[in-house]
Amino acid sequence: MAFELPSLPYAADALEPHIDTRTMEIHHGKHHNGYTTKLNAAVEGTALEGSSIDAILSGLDMGNAALRNNGGGYYNHCLFWEIMGPDAGEMSAELTQAIDKAFGSFEGFKDAFSKAAAAQFGSGWAWLCAHDDGSLEVCGTPNQDNPLMPNVGCGGTPVLGLDVWEHAYYLNYQNRRPDYIEAFFHVVNWSEVSKRYASR
Ligand code: MN3
């Protein structure tokens, strides 16, 4: 089974004014679609055909640039659409407690995550990762790398991710990445993030 571009779980204009419709259309329909097509090309005819994306990434040969960039791009954007939404939902008590334990408070977490997103030089992602024991960490990865991949400097299950490639915000925010990071916190779906935390 080839990988398929998932539909957006909401309308392309659902995250306005924080993330504009045109950016969503291009980001999903062009960028994510491109990663999906190129991932399928990288996997076709290899022993990885039929493997899950999680298995491919956790066992990744980091020297395989096509698989690293497009497998990462495929996975990262699948997660990104799902952890956002027009409805903020509710954060679970378990995740609230884990955030307080790791960062002191939600504001402490937001500050650490925003700093990781702002400090990522060039293209990349900021992550909130959950470990098996429930502990949390914030980190950043370059390009389309993510915490499932070996030796990227952080690990665990990604439960929240923010795309800080310019293609994610340039139309609306130009060079104002901090404004985009602040806007992102208006469109996080905390029910979905809590669900990912529970199933880590
Ligand atoms: Mn992107």
Domain boundaries in the chain?
Answer: 20-200
User: Can you say how many angstroms the Cα of residue 24 is from the centroid of all Cα atoms in its chain?
Assistant: 14
Q: How many CA atoms lie within 13 A of 62 on its CB side?
A: 11
Distance 117 CA to ligand 1 centre (A): 13
Residues with CB under 5 A from ligand 1 (ion): 163, 165, 168
Q: Has residue 1 got a pLDDT over 80?
A: no
Judge whether residue 200 has pLDDT over 80. Answer: yes
Nearest-angstrom CA–CA distance, 178 and 119: 10
User: How many Å lie between the centroid of ligand 1 and the Cα of residue 168?
Assistant: 5
pLDDT at 109 (0 to 100): 98
Q: Sign of the CA dihedral 118, 122, 123, 127? A: negative
The separation between CA 85 and the C-alpha centre of its own chain, rounded to angstroms, equals 14
**b/e code 162-179 from CB counts within 10 Å (16+ = b):** bbbbeebbeebbeeebee
Which residue type does 105 have?
S
Mean pLDDT, range 65-85, rounded to an integer? 98
Q: What is the residue type of 14?
A: A
Considering the chain, what percentage of its residues have pLDDT values greater than 90? 98
Q: Is the peptide bond before 17 cis (omega within 30 degrees of 0)?
A: yes
pLDDT at 81: 98
Give me ligand 1 centre to Cα 24, in Å: 10
115, pLDDT greater than 80: yes
**What amino acid occupies position 163?**
D
CA 147 to chain centre: 10
The mean pLDDT value of the chain amounts to: 97
Distance 95 CA to ligand 1 centre (A): 26
**pTM (two decimals):** 0.97
Sign of the torsion formed by the C-alpha atoms of 77, 110, 92 and 14:
negative
CA–centroid distance, 127 to ligand 1, in Å, is 14
Q: If you measure from the C-alpha of residue 65 to the centroid of ligand 1, how many angstroms do you get, rounded to a whole number?
A: 17
Ligand 1 centroid vs 128 CA: distance in angstroms? 17
Q: With bands split at pLDDT 50, 70 and 90, how would you rate the model's confidence at 6?
A: very high
Q: Which superfamily does CATH assign the domain made up of 20-200 to?
A: Iron/manganese superoxide dismutase, C-terminal domain (3.55.40.20)
pLDDT tens column, 154-198: 899 999 999 999 999 999 999 999 999 999 999 999 999 999 999
Query: 87 is written with which tokens?
Result: 């409805």
Q: How far is CA 72 from CA 1, 100, 107, 111, 169, in A?
A: 18, 30, 29, 25, 19
Cα 101 to ligand 1 centroid, rounded to whole Å: 31
> What pLDDT is recorded for position 12?
98
